[in-house]
A = this chain, B = another copy of it.
Amino acid sequence: ADVPKLGTCITCHGRDGVGTSPVFPNLAGQKSLYMVQQLEQFRSGARKSEVMNVVAKPLTDAEIEALANYYEGLKPSGP
């Protein structure tokens, strides 16, 4: 199933949930509730990030939920 707005996330966090540079965190297998909370904070501006404040701004609660569930469901790659 398509996850709305995923196309934006994968630029930095990968479709596989592995950050595409050392400053982009891995999200594969991350706890969805944590990611929901962080996306809400990025959306409101409570957590500051030039990139994330912009991309989280238009997300709906349902989209945040779907994106967090998508990334939680991925198998993390080990070191």
Within 8 A of B (CB), among A22-79: 22-26, 28-34, 37, 46-48, 72-79
Interface of A, secondary structure class, is loop
Give every chain B residue within 8 A of A26 (Cβ-Cβ): 29-31, 76
Give every chain B residue within 8 A of A34 (Cβ-Cβ): 19, 22-25
Q: How far is the CA of A79 from the CA of B31 in the complex (A)?
A: 9
Q: Interface extent on A, as a size class?
A: 20 to 34
CB pair B76–A78 under 8 Å, yes or no, is yes
Q: How far is the CA of A46 from the CA of B48 in the complex (A)?
A: 8
Give every chain B residue within 8 A of A76 (Cβ-Cβ): 26, 28-29, 76-78
CB-defined A-B contacts under 8 Å, sample of 10: A22-B33, A23-B37, A25-B30, A25-B31, A47-B48, A73-B79, A74-B79, A75-B78, A76-B76, A76-B78
